[in-house]
């Protein structure tokens, strides 16, 4: 008899959809069962939120509706739950195909036994999470788009408003202290000072590379509604610019900026993929530039520059 399969899939809106689940399971099966109005196998899949994490349940039934077994999984992210359930289904279908292939070459003394039952269901009162033998889904790498607004000092004579836009990448890990790398463009385009009958406009911009750690241990097993402390070391490469206006002889100058420092703060996860960030930091300028324009000594970069601001990051992969 040709194997056929129907998948009944139910999941939270933030979870992967049915098509994504089927694609993940299909990758682990050499011959995917065909569709049918009267399938020989039915896979009932549920992925739902439970407490601070997500739970998944896979029930495999035969054509009579009898349960062949159950698999359950508990993870902090729904993506991991769906991946594990797809793996369970793929393993069950592949085992069933092997059993059916072997049975074709022999006269069975009894009906062909389907794939080894998955796992007998456990009652809710005794369920305490997945057993050690259960396959655990691997956590995937993450990429975020980051952005923010902040006040900066030490780059210009006065405190200036700045903005930043960048990317952050986290490796796949189950550790509670998670490293990440970031690359961003940070600018404070306008700050002005009055001198005599004219004024001088300053601007600053830099490419910022950072290495960070996020302390997931303090935020609990699920992101949404939790605080996540973080700390970074950063390096800045960019430029300072000044231009005078309103004088008999107006001048402009652009000088390189090079600095290194650290920053720290917290992230508030308002959704599983979205966080608001609050933080500040200090940078030590490696090149302490001075500006003298139109015969006036205007500004020298101090020993320490600082910034304080808010931002947002959104997971895009």
Tokens representing 270? Answer: 């308002």
35-68 pLDDT, tens digit per residue, is 888 888 899 999 998 887 899 999 988 888 888 8
Global confidence as pTM: 0.56
Tokens representing 4? Answer: 């056929």
Query: φ, ψ for residue 97 (rounded to 5)?
Result: -65, -40
pLDDT band at 163 (very low <50, low <70, confident <90, very high): very high
pLDDT of residue 3: 80
pLDDT of residue 34: 84
The whole-number average pLDDT for the span 106-132 is: 44
Average pLDDT of the chain, as a whole number: 82
Q: Give me the CATH code for the 142-315 domain, please.
A: 2.40.160.20
DSSP-assigned letters across all residues of 113-124: P-SPP------T
Give me the residue label for tokens 């407490």: 51
189-246 pLDDT, tens digit per residue, is 888 888 878 888 999 999 999 999 988 644 444 455 678 899 999 999 999 999 888 8
Beta-strand ranges (E) seen in the chain are 5-11, 41-50, 53-62, 67-75, 142-153, 160-170, 177-195, 198-215, 227-245, 252-271, 274-285, 290-293, 296-300, 305-315
pLDDT band at 69 (very low <50, low <70, confident <90, very high): confident
Q: For the chain, what are the domain ranges?
A: 5-104, 142-315
Fold classification of 5-104 is Double Stranded RNA Binding Domain (3.30.160)
């Amino acid at each position: 008899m040709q194997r056929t399969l129907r998948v009944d899939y139910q999941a939270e809106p933030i979870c992967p959809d049915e098509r994504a689940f089927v694609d993940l399971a299909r990758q682990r099966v050499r011959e995917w069962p065909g569709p049918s109005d009267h399938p020989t196998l039915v896979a009932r899949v549920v992925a739902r939120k439970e407490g601070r994490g997500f739970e998944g349940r896979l029930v495999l039934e035969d054509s009579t509706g009898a349960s062949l077994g159950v698999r359950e999984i508990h993870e902090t992210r729904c993506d991991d739950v769906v991946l594990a359930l797809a793996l369970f289904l793929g393993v069950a279908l592949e085992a069933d195909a092997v059993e059916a292939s072997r049975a074709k070459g022999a006269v069975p003394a009894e009906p062909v036994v389907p794939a080894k039952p998955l796992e007998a269901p456990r009652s809710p009162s005794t369920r305490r999470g997945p057993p050690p033998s259960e396959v655990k889904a691997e956590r995937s790498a993450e990429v975020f788009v980051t952005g923010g607004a902040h006040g900066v000092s030490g780059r210009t004579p006065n405190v200036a408003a700045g903005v930043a836009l960048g990317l952050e990448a986290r490796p796949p890990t189950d550790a509670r202290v998670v490293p990440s790398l970031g690359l961003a463009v940070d600018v404070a385009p306008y700050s002005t000072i009055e001198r005599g009958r004219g004024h001088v406009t300053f601007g600053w911009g830099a490419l910022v590379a950072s290495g960070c750690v996020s302390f997931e241990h303090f935020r609990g097993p699920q992101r949404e509604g939790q605080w996540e402390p973080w700390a970074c070391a950063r390096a800045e490469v960019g430029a300072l610019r000044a231009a005078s206006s309103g004088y008999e002889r107006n001048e402009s100058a652009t000088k390189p900026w090079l600095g290194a420092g650290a920053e720290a703060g917290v992230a508030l996860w308002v959704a599983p993929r979205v966080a608001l960030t609050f933080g500040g930091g200090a940078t030590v300028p490696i090149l302490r530039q001075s500006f003298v324009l139109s015969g006036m000594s205007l500004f020298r970069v101090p020993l320490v520059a600082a910034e304080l601001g808010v931002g947002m990051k959104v997971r895009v992969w």
